Amino acid sequence: MNNSLLFALIATTILASCSSDDDNNIIEPDPPAVVAPATYSFDRDGESTVSYSGQTTRILMGEELIDAFLDFDNSTEERLMSMFAHEEGNADFDNTDLNSSDKSIRSKTAASRDYFSANASESALIKADFEGWISGQIDEVFPNEDTLAAPGVAGQIADGESTRYVNGDGFEFNQVFGKALIGGLMADQMLNNYLGTAVLDEADNIDNNDNEIVADGKSYTTMEHKWDEAYGYLFGASENGASPLATLGSDDSFLNKYIGRVDGDADFNGIGQAIYDALKLGRAAIVAKDYTLRDEQANIVRQLVSEAIAIRTVYYLQQGKNAIENDNLGTAFHDLSEGLGFIYSLRFTQNPLTGQSFFNRAEVEDMIEQLLQGENGLWTVTPATLDAVSEQIAAPFGFTVEQAGSTN
């Protein structure tokens, strides 16, 4: 794994846990004070304390919503907007369990404590972007379902045996929306909300956790539950939530899928295991009331999840470049639409050394503008531009464009 910060964090932890035998000049490692369990399984008085059902619900809502983007026969703007901003009891989804839920995707999009509690204006702009992609699909793409796409003309375009539906700039709105949701919902809630001390240590959470005072009617303390909610945005749809790595990459269409894709590349193999291990050890540290160790693990997760989003962004920009050079615009638009969604997701990454995003909103907007600066958006983007933006994204992380661009 190419991750200098991760190695630095690990080295710091190892050095801090060693003791010196001056007589023999041998450094003996101290036994770890906190040991993670083999799986993400924690209990109290014989009852599991792990709970992340709200995250599972939102992942499932997201799956139905992105599928509905291509339901030309039944989807309307009102239907998609209602799925995005679901209200309890409304029949927005085929899964009736989702209809009875009081959760919604919109309420947790760009809604983290670290980034948006004092930045309501940007949160509103981001929500409006997501709603704009819904409107674009209905207003621009749906009327031209049977029209051949051309520069400035929405419609369909072949991509091998698949058919892609794009707007006049070559956007697949369903791809932009889905990949942007990985950052705007999953990563933002995971990295910038539930793993942050503003949420974990809120109010009397530390005192209650120290004294094992559980939440009302629950088996877990509030701090334990907040950490589990971060876990749920990655593993909430996994077949085996306690031991999810066997199906990593196939359990949802969002963060789990793309952590799995990155993990499948030999250049980054092991990233899934490292994130899982950090989440397990951080949760064990909460049980052990070791909040320094907890926060160290949170930073490892922030770094690695942020890096995975960046790797996947570069991958799609490079795949799009290759397709342009091979005159396969259907494939290029598909890959670049995914890349645009991932660029949007970069805003929600977090650099653990600064506590800030690796790329702020202005930088993300500038990268998107570079891709769309031609007269007809993706129809005229150049390989040189895609290489330049790829280099800009890779630089803070230490991986190369070649490494990320060659992954599966």
Check residue 291 and give its pLDDT: 98
**Domain annotation covers residue 171:** yes
Distance, C-alpha 43 to centroid of its chain: 28
Check residue 2 and give its pLDDT: 54
d(CA 255, CA 234): 6
d(CA 100, CA 236): 19
- Per the DSSP assignment, residues forming a β-bridge with 21 are 26
Check residue 123 and give its pLDDT: 98
End-to-end CA gap in the chain: 16
**Domain annotation covers residue 253:** yes
d(CA 189, CA 183): 9
Q: In tens digits, what is the pLDDT along the chain, a chain of 408 residues?
A: 554 445 445 444 444 444 444 455 666 666 678 999 999 999 999 999 999 999 999 999 999 999 999 999 999 999 999 999 999 999 999 999 999 999 999 999 999 999 999 999 999 999 999 999 999 999 999 999 999 999 999 999 999 989 999 999 999 999 999 999 999 999 999 999 999 999 999 999 999 999 999 999 999 999 999 999 999 999 999 999 999 999 999 999 999 999 999 999 999 999 999 999 999 999 999 999 999 999 999 999 999 999 999 999 999 999 999 999 999 999 999 999 999 999 999 999 999 999 999 999 999 999 999 999 878 999 999 999 999 999 999 999 999 999 999 855
Task: Record the pTM.
Answer: 0.93
Both tokens of 35, joined, read: 């040991």
Helix (H) or strand (E) holding 349: none
Domain of 204 in residue numbering reads as 43-50+134-405
**Domain annotation covers residue 123:** no
Check residue 21 and give its pLDDT: 46
If 0-12 CB within 10 Å is exposed, 13-18 middle and 19+ buried, where does residue 120 land? Answer: exposed
**Domain annotation covers residue 396:** yes
Torsion of CA 140, 150, 329, 155, to 10 degrees: 30
- Per the DSSP assignment, residues forming a β-bridge with 19 are 28
Give the contacts of 280 (CB within 8 A, at least 6 positions apart).
36, 37, 39, 40
d(CA 303, CA 345): 14
**Domain annotation covers residue 59:** no
| Cα Rg of the chain, angstroms | 22
Count of domains forming the chain:
1
**Domain annotation covers residue 251:** yes
Count of helix runs (H) and strand runs (E) in the chain: 18, 6
Query: Coil, strand, or helix at residue 44?
Result: strand
Query: Coil, strand, or helix at residue 352?
Result: coil
**Domain annotation covers residue 191:** yes
**Domain annotation covers residue 230:** yes
